[in-house]
């Protein structure tokens, strides 16, 4: 929670106080909850929305089931691409999302329908070493096209399936670190086009 608050502080600067940042962080964390967890939480407080609001600072049921407009990864990607507020930097976004996709499932074809691009898609448990992970991520950024002077930039997606049953948590954390470092290095070079790079883990 503290790291998320600090991230929001860097994003908003001094525009929001700590309490406001804390409330925003809690709302963002509801995006990674399961429906079961939200229902259990709501059931423990009965139907008293006011008690939920006093406990969490907002109505967690309404936030999860009404304000979130995405029900699957393609709809989330469509919303992500279309709203710059959700980007983590000018180039686009790097997000870690929780889905219920089968271990061998590929969703790239479904994603193509909503973002007009064929994503690069890999499964973490099929990579044999940390060097393989680094190679995939670094090649994704190294092959990024140069920014266009006129016209919209080409959007590129990298989807890494990180199933906790098939891949160890240590491997998943290492992959996340590799993605963050590669993106940071790429941003420092300043060669990417606005809204061109999206990584989903």
What would the pLDDT profile of 85-108 be if each residue is shown by its tens digit? 777 777 888 887 777 655 556 666
198 Cβ neighbours under 8 A, 6+ residues apart: 77, 80, 81, 92, 93, 94, 95, 155, 156, 157, 158
Query: What CATH topology corresponds to 73-200?
Result: Rossmann fold (3.40.50)
pLDDT score, position 3: 65
92-95 sheet: strands from edge to edge: 92-95, 197-200, 156-161, 120-123
pLDDT score, position 42: 78
Domain locations in the chain as residue ranges:
1-67, 73-200
pLDDT score, position 70: 66
Q: Give the residues of the chain that fall short of pLDDT 50.
A: none
Per-residue pLDDT tens over the stretch 119-146: 888 888 888 888 898 999 999 888 887 7
pLDDT score, position 167: 84
pLDDT score, position 73: 75
pLDDT score, position 71: 66
pLDDT score, position 149: 66
Model confidence pTM above 0.75: no
In 165-198, which positions are buried (b, 16+ CB within 10 angstroms) versus exposed (e)?
eebeeebbebbbebbbebbeebbeeeebbebbbb
pLDDT score, position 63: 78
């Amino acid at each position: 929670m503290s790291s998320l608050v600090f991230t929001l502080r860097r994003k908003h600067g001094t525009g929001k106080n700590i309490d406001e940042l804390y409330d925003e962080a809690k709302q963002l964390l509801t995006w990674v909850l399961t429906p079961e967890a939200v229902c259990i939480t709501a059931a423990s407080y009965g139907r008293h929305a006011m008690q939920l609001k006093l406990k969490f600072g907002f109505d967690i049921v309404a936030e999860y089931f009404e304000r979130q407009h995405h029900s699957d990864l393609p709809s989330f990607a469509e919303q992500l691409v279309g709203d710059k507020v959700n980007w983590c930097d000018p180039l686009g976004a790097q997000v870690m999302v929780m889905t219920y996709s089968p271990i061998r499932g590929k969703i790239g074809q479904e994603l193509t329908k909503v973002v007009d691009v064929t994503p690069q898609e890999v499964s973490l448990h099929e990579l044999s070493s940390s060097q393989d992970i680094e190679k995939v991520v670094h090649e994704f950024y190294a092959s990024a096209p140069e920014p266009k002077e006129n016209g919209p930039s080409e959007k590129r997606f990298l989807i890494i399936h990180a199933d906790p049953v098939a891949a160890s948590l240590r491997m998943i954390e290492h992959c996340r670190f590799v993605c963050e470092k590669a993106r940071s290095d790429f941003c420092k070079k300043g060669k990417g086009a606005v809204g061109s790079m999206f990584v989903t883990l």
